[in-house]
Chains A and B, each alone.
Chain A
Amino acid sequence: MSSFNQDTGSADEAISRRRFLSGATTAGAVALSGLALSAQSRGDEALPPNWFEGPDPGIPKVGLRWAFSATVFFADRVMINTMDSPAGRGYTSVGGGEIWGPRLQGRVLPHSGADYYKTSFTTYYMFQAADGALIFIHNRGTMRRFAAHYEPGKPLMPAPAPPAKQDSVWTRFRATPVFTAPLGPHEWMNRTVFVASSQRQANPDHTVFTYYEVL
């Protein structure tokens, strides 16, 4: 039984930075193209927010703006009981990692916590910003598998059970962190709601979390 942070996103979920940026510049202003080029080389330049709306104009729009990303290397993987049991509890320790992006840069404080997952992940560990500030992250996750990647306007169908081919299966893995940050330049994190996608990468094994602030 795999832990939640062991799930590998399908290839089409893991879009490349280049594709993401070219999409953003096509949809956005022409003036952005210079910014996008520098972002490709540095990996921490701001991107314009994406806005989402409901079927009628009375529904408030909600925006998502890339805040930062975290590359996390997990280490030990342990289970108490099994995930099939109501008493099943997983432990996956956090070794360390990097934080990069427009609104936060730094590192995952080495050996600062773990994912203590039950039916979904429950992670507690520490970030250390480039200025030395310690930021506590409590992350909760949800995960479901669908037959194919989400497309606006199309219903999501459940993933077929093995032995059916799993090639186009999309793992929708979302993380929702609550941060506790010290007063100062990072205090905005205490009053901001975030939602992240999580994608496991191979060679070496690590997970990339892409954190968006909810506008």
Chain B
Amino acid sequence: MREFVVPKTDTKILGTIELEYAFKLTAHYDPPQESHTPRGTFRYQDIVSGEVSGARITASVYPDSGGQYDTVRSDRVRDVDAHFMVKADNGEWLYMEHVGYRRTDGYYRAIAYIETDLKGAYEWMNNTTFVVTAKESADQREVVFYYYIAN
């Protein structure tokens, strides 16, 4: 390994981040299906439907447009990998991707990346980092996600 001499700097700056609440998404899932894989327990859950509401968006999860493709780890935390499509009331499509963790208490923390029409009403969601908190219902069939913009 080549070494690297770190130049001396005194820039002990702290960048600030302010979260701004954006919207809520209630997702309805089929029961989870688990399978044993070399990477641990793979847990698939089909997203059946969902509702999106907030000051700047009203939309629905497009039925059967994806789901959750999680891995249950040895510490019982789930690596969350969720992909699905949302259709807004004005007809525009949104692709939503979530990366994060579902802890053993049923609470999620995740980052969402959203891709939308460059000429559409939801263009502001592109290239925006969303911080997500969520809670799963006891029967694991419903998850309510809350999205904050990381400004």
Interface residues of A (CB under 8 A from B): 9, 13-17, 20, 43, 50, 52-55, 59-60, 62, 64, 66, 69, 71, 73, 95-98, 100, 107, 109-111, 120, 140, 142-144, 150, 152, 156, 172, 174, 176, 178, 187, 190-193, 195-199, 201, 204, 206, 208-210, 212, 214
Q: How far does the alpha carbon of A179 sit from the alpha carbon of B73 in the complex, in Å? A: 14
B129's partner among A43, A73, A176 (CB-CB below 8 A) is: A176
Q: Which residue of A lies closest to B16 (CB)?
A: A15
Residues of B within 8 A of A214 (CB): 109, 131, 133
Residues in A whose Cβ lies below 8 Å from that of B55 = 55
Most chain B C-beta atoms within 10 Å of own C-beta, residue among A66, A96, A142, A206:
A142
Who on chain B is nearest to A64 by CB?
B17
Contacts of A53 in B (CB 8 A): 21
Q: Give the number of residues in B that approach A within 8 Å (Cβ atoms).
A: 44
Contact A197 B15 (CB under 8 A): yes
Contact B17 A195 (CB under 8 A): yes
Please pick, from B101, B131, B151, the residue contacting A150 in the complex, using a CB distance under 8 A: B151
Q: Are B113 and A142 in contact, with the CB atoms below 8 A?
A: yes
Expressed in whole angstroms, the Cα–Cα distance for A59 and B54 within the complex equals 11
Instruction: Give chain B's interface residues, CB within 8 Å of chain A.
Output: 1-7, 9, 11-21, 24, 55, 73, 75, 77, 99-101, 103, 109-111, 113, 124, 126-129, 131, 133, 135, 146, 148, 150-151
CA distance in complex: A150, B20 (Å): 10
Q: How far is the CA of A111 from the CA of B6 in the complex (A)?
A: 12
Quick check: B2 and A111 within 8 Å, CB to CB?
yes
> Which residues in A have their C-beta under 8 angstroms from that of B16?
13, 15, 20, 197, 210
Contact between B131 and A143 (Cβ–Cβ < 8 Å)?
A: no
Measured between beta carbons, the chain B residues less than 8 angstroms from A174 are: 17, 129, 150
Instruction: For B75, give the chain A residue with the smallest CB separation.
Output: A191
Main SS of the interface on chain A?
Answer: strand
Closest Cβ–Cβ distance, residue A134 to chain B (whole Å): 12
Give the chain A neighbours of B131 by CB distance below 8 A: 62, 64, 193, 195, 214
Quick one: closest A residue to B19, CB to CB?
A52
Residues of B within 8 A of A196 (CB): 15, 17
Instruction: Give chain A nearest CB distance to B82 CB in angstroms.
Output: 14
Closest chain B CB from A100 CB (angstroms)? 8
Kindly report which residue of chain B lies nearest to residue A173, judged by CB atoms: B15
Q: List 21 A–B pairs whose Cβ atoms lie within 8 Å, in order of A's numbering.
A: A9-B15, A13-B16, A52-B148, A55-B55, A73-B4, A96-B5, A100-B12, A111-B2, A142-B127, A144-B127, A144-B128, A152-B20, A174-B17, A174-B150, A178-B99, A187-B75, A190-B73, A191-B75, A191-B101, A193-B100, A193-B111
On chain A, the residues within 8 Å of B19 by CB distance are: 52, 62, 64
